[in-house]
Amino acid sequence: DITVYIPTNVNADLTLDVVTLLHGVYGSHWAWAMNGGVHKTTHRLIQQGKMRPMVLVMPSDGLHGDGSGYLKHQQEDDEKWIVEDVITVVKEQITSVHEKSNFFITGLSMGGYGALRLGAKYPEIFRSFSGLSSITEFNQMALFLEQGEFEKLSELVLTHENVMDCILANKERLPHFYFD
């Protein structure tokens, strides 16, 4: 499940950059558009010339209960879904997105954890990354999930990665990043 915003009235030959927005716990691919109206704000800023045209990609996290952490699971690979599958489908479906496009990733809460972790882990894919009100350690998922759900998630995911570990592992190659 992916929600996509594609700017209108742009030159068909223009190379568009792509921002992937990862939702938080209890969310889905609709969260950024329906709860935040991010596509409306982006459209308005592009029309006003305050922002260059870009594509917004808002994927679901795999819809595992209340949240997946965008991690590799025993049966599904939600990390691969974001760093490979989502990018591939956007390139296949939007002609202005291709190898020359820059890719960025950001997220809120659990999505911020995913964006910070994936941005640091895959600096060759993402030009920059950010996290908004992010958790930074896998175990912090317990703060949001109901009793028993965190234990179930802990058993399903293959690694319990922390953001700082990913940042330190790639510190020599990191692009610019931001978190609050």
- pLDDT per residue as tens digits for the range 21-46: 999 888 788 889 999 999 999 999 99
| Residue from 124, 131, 77, 79 nearest 105 by CA | 131
What token pair was written down for 91?
Answer: 């390139």
- Three-state DSSP at 36 gives helix
| pLDDT digit string (tens) for the chain, length 180 residues | 899 999 998 887 899 999 999 998 887 888 899 999 999 999 999 999 999 999 999 998 876 667 778 888 888 888 999 999 999 999 999 999 999 999 999 999 999 999 999 999 999 999 999 999 999 999 999 998 888 888 988 888 888 899 999 999 999 999 999 999
CA dist 22 to 25, 60, 168, 171, Å?
A: 10, 7, 22, 23
pLDDT of residue 46: 96
The per-residue pLDDT for 118 is 97
H helical segments located in 30-148: 36, 38-47, 78-80, 87-93, 110-121
Q: If you average pLDDT over every residue of the chain, what do you get? A: 92
Residue 65 pLDDT:
67
Coil, helix or strand at residue 44: helix
Q: What is the CA radius of gyration of the chain?
A: 16
SS3 of residue 177 by DSSP: strand
H or E element, residue 153: helix 149-156
